[in-house]
Amino acid sequence: MPQARNAGIAIGSAGLTFPEPPGYEAKWAPVFIEPIAGSGERLCIGIAAIGDDKQIEATSTLQEDTLDAVFGSHGKAFKKLTDTILQALETHLQAGGTLNNWTPPFEGVEIGTQRPAEAKDIAGILRQGLRRSACLSAWLLDPAAEDKSPEAKDEQEDRLPTQVRELVIKQHPELSGFFNKELRITPKARANQIYFIGRRLAANLDKLIPTGQSLTGCVNRAKVKMLGLNTLKHIEDDMYYRELSRFEMLLLRPSDSDALYTARQIDALHSALLELSKIADCLNVRLHHNTDPNQLAERLIEMEKAA
């Protein structure tokens, strides 16, 4: 009689080995809002996850550039509203509340169906929720989408320079004339753009997006911008530049727990930061990175105003 087989796989005496299960168990639920009262339309604004280990997190599914494209001038206000909602939910859960007994701070907000899930950690749970519930953010999680975001498009849609500049000028209007400077080593040389040249500080600004080709482009731009800062140190025939004492490369990066990115992408981000840090040391440029544009603006002010 022929030997029995299971699903086409021969089972020998050595047995079969299977990968370890994810191990981390949690439940997650989408958070919806009705943008127009009474319309019946629902938009997923966040994912809330509660781990069996009592770890709790509520993360936004919305990006500022996406909201600007959808809501125009009202994008910032809508993002602030949704962040307030998610913060209220997270506070409720951390205080011992449940998804079932939460009272939203605004009308038109509701919790969707709760689902059990397994992953490596709570960030993996949140990513599952994003993929299954949030069309406005799901493309960020699609590995195939990484190669569909040309570097040129990324630069055109980058609002970070304007955002940081506005934050700085709001606190110190006298610094408005120090932004977006052109530097030429010789009269016929190509102009080198420097984001900020103040009385003490010269700084360039960019961001690191850990998705495939976008990360490579970000790293290359940061290298060029750090080289531009280093060039300022060698212009000895201009008294203005000789007064500069601080040279910084400011980078906006996502947090390690950002559910929009996989663990592999965050590892790639760390490798990029290590590479840029070593280059910064060679060029005598200080590298400063943060997850919040407000903190980058504060850093710029601090370094320019420091005695």
> Is 9 within the bounds of a domain?
no
pLDDT of residue 12: 44
Contact in structure between 247 and 200 (CB atoms under 8 Å): no
- Beta-strand runs (E) in the chain: 24-33, 43-51, 56-60, 109-111, 115-119, 179-183, 192-197, 201-207, 246-252, 286-290
| Count of C-beta atoms within a 10 Å radius of residue 109 | 22
pLDDT of residue 293: 93
Q: Say yes or no: 225 and 93 in one domain.
A: no
Q: Say yes or no: 131 and 191 in one domain.
A: no
CATH of the domain at 170: 3.40.50
The token pair at 112 is 């969707």
Q: Say yes or no: 175 and 232 in one domain.
A: yes
Write out pLDDT tens, residues 176-228: 999 998 776 555 556 678 999 998 999 999 999 888 667 888 888 899 899 88
The phi, psi pair for 254, rounded to 5°, reads -75, 160
For the range 32-35, what are the long-range contacts, defined as Cβ-Cβ under 8 Å and sequence gap of 24 or more? Answer: 32/109, 32/110, 32/111, 32/112, 33/82, 33/85, 33/106, 33/108, 33/109, 34/108, 34/109, 35/78, 35/108
Q: Say yes or no: 229 and 178 in one domain.
A: yes
Q: Say yes or no: 78 and 219 in one domain.
A: no
Contact in structure between 208 and 272 (CB atoms under 8 Å): yes
Domain boundary among 141, 176, 209: 141
Q: Say yes or no: 170 and 83 in one domain.
A: no
Rounded alpha-carbon distances, angstroms, from residue 207 to 4, 28, 79, 198, 223: 58, 30, 20, 21, 12
Q: Say yes or no: 175 and 281 in one domain.
A: yes
Residue located via tokens 């710029």:
300
pLDDT of residue 19: 52
CA quadruple 220, 221, 226, 232: dihedral sign: positive
Query: What predicted TM-score, i.e. pTM, was given to this entire model?
Result: 0.57
Domain boundary among 110, 141, 172: 141
For the chain, the straight-line distance linking the first and the last C-alpha, in angstroms and rounded, comes to 90
> Is 111 within the bounds of a domain?
yes
Pairing of strands 179-183, 201-207: unpaired
> Is 3 within the bounds of a domain?
no
pLDDT of residue 231: 80
> Is 12 within the bounds of a domain?
no
Q: Residue 242, Cα to own-chain centre: how many angstroms?
A: 35
Number of domains forming the structure of the chain = 2
Domain boundary among 113, 141, 169: 141
| Count of C-beta atoms within a 10 Å radius of residue 262 | 17
> Is 230 within the bounds of a domain?
yes
Q: Say yes or no: 155 and 301 in one domain.
A: yes
Determine the Cα angle at 20 with ends 19 and 24, to 5°.
Answer: 140
pLDDT of residue 98: 92
> Is 133 within the bounds of a domain?
yes
pLDDT of residue 211: 80
pLDDT of residue 169: 95
Domain extent, residue 134, equals: 24-141
The token pair at 144 is 């195939």
CB crowding 138-165: b at 16 or more within 10 Å, else e: bebbeeeebeebeeeebeeebebbebbb
Q: Say yes or no: 217 and 125 in one domain.
A: no
> Is 2 within the bounds of a domain?
no
Residues of the chain with pLDDT under 50: 1-14, 18, 138-157, 307
